[in-house]
């Protein structure tokens, strides 16, 4: 899901800078933000019991990450790490905090649809 940057800014989104290998969010964190990549790459990964990395996906500018988890009221099942493959300087992305009311409504809607299947 990609949201127009003008809409993000009007909703109070912040632009943040990340350094290479810096975590945007970690497995087990509570999802509270919508992340949209403006520049750079983000690696979604997990580590097994032996510490071996499993890369789920690599996202680039114009994509969003972790938004599906916002609707199920569970912690992130993966890490999101900024990578410097395309742009060696920094990643800029937008983050919009979710209001409690909106998150509750989304959780209720998701539960209703899931139970209806």
Residue-wise pLDDT tens for the chain (117 aa)? 688 888 887 888 888 888 888 999 999 999 888 888 888 889 999 999 999 999 999 998 888 888 888 888 899 999 999 986 443 333 344 455 555 444 444 555 455 555 554
pTM summary value: 0.71
Please answer whether residues 5 and 21 qualify as being in contact, where contact means their C-beta atoms are separated by less than 8 angstroms: no
Neighbours of 62 (CB within 10 A): 10
What is the per-residue pLDDT for 91? 35
The pLDDT of residue 1: 67
Contact 33/103 with Cβ under 8 angstroms?
no
Which sign, positive or negative, has the C-alpha torsion 65, 71, 76, 78? Answer: negative
- DSSP code, position 105: H
**Alpha-carbon gap, residue 26 to 12, rounded angstroms:** 23
| Residue appearing with tokens 């916002």 | 70
């Amino acid at each position: 899901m990609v949201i127009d940057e003008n809409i993000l800014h009007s909703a109070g989104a912040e632009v943040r800078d990340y350094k290479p290998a810096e975590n945007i969010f970690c497995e087990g964190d509570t999802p509270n933000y919508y992340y949209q990549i403006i520049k750079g790459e983000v690696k979604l990964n997990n580590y097994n019991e032996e510490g071996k990395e499993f890369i789920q996906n690599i996202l680039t500018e114009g994509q969003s990450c972790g938004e599906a988890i916002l609707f199920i009221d569970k912690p992130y099942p993966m890490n999101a790490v900024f990578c410097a493959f395309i742009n060696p300087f920094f990643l800029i992305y937008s983050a919009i905090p979710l209001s409690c009311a909106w998150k509750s409504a989304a959780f209720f809607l998701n539960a209703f649809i899931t139970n209806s299947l």
